[in-house]
Amino acid sequence: FFSNKLVSYSEGRDFPNQNAHSMLAPYLSFGQISVRWMYHYLINKSTERQCSLFEKQVNSFIRQLIWREFSYYLLYHYPFTVYKPLNKSFENFPWNNEDELLRAWQKGETGYPFIDAGMRELWQTGFMHNRARMAVASFLVKHLLIPWQEGAKWFMDTLLDADIANNTMGWQWVAGSGADASPYFRIFNPITQGEKFDKNGEYIRRWVPELRDIPNKYIHKPWEAPEHILQKANIKLDDTYPLPVVNHKAARERALCAYKSMKELV
């Protein structure tokens, strides 16, 4: 990674098919390599090269290491956050506990291709690209209103790089209940996330093979494809591939109302 991928890290880390991620997280989680060693190694390499572009990539990677260390700070001082929100006002949040929706998310059968690709990659490999992690987490918490604790448990059970501190901070960030949390009105659009970061659908086609023959125009929204296009691609919606479990616009409005109602109760 340090020799070949780091030079494109900051630009490529958001795109699942650019293979710019380090894949070092499991080794950090199991203690086979330390953050301190990585930090000093990177600083030394940056000094040796004296290249502004390389320094930019190093700084981008180090910021991720700092976030990881911050998660340990939070866990040490607030150990209850593994199970409860740091922001206590979230104890009043009107969560939805529909097991059927949770299972659809876990199996990668939500009907949103980018979300399903991420969840299937996780189940088959024990890894999920960072951009997909943020998208699937936001979808569970804000589109489905499933408690973030359910997502955190699933990630801990399935990720090879599962790390209790990092995992807890990440899920609370998405839910809006943690330290330096994502604003409640920031709701990832499961369609545009795919269009922006997997424009031609390579990631989707790899992990959701039943959509491999659909044209790029419809890869992120197969339900909008004309019937003859679906037939040609051997897709039968609600059979070979599910229809969306929720409507994006309606789910977004429902989430915003839920967050506002919680604020009114405080």
Q: Which residues are annotated as a binding site for FAD?
A: 9, 61, 161-163
Residues 145/58, Cβ–Cβ less than 8 Å = no
What's the CA angle centered on 244, arms 218 and 156, to 5 degrees?
Answer: 110
For the purposes of burial, counting CB atoms within 10 Å of the CB of 30, is it exposed (0-12), middle (13-18) or buried (19 or more)? exposed
Tell me, what DSSP letter sits at residue 126? S
Nearest to 198 by CA among 15, 8, 11: 15
- Classify 233 as helix, strand or coil: coil
CA distance 15 to 12: 6
Structure-derived torsion over alpha carbons of residues 64, 69, 73, 74, reported in degrees to the nearest 10: 30
Annotated binding site: 9, 61, 161-163
Residues 28/35, Cβ–Cβ less than 8 Å = yes
Most distant CA pair in the chain, distance: 59
Sequence letter at residue 52: S
How many CB atoms within 10 Å of residue 186?
11
What's the CA angle centered on 19, arms 17 and 21, to 5 degrees?
Answer: 125
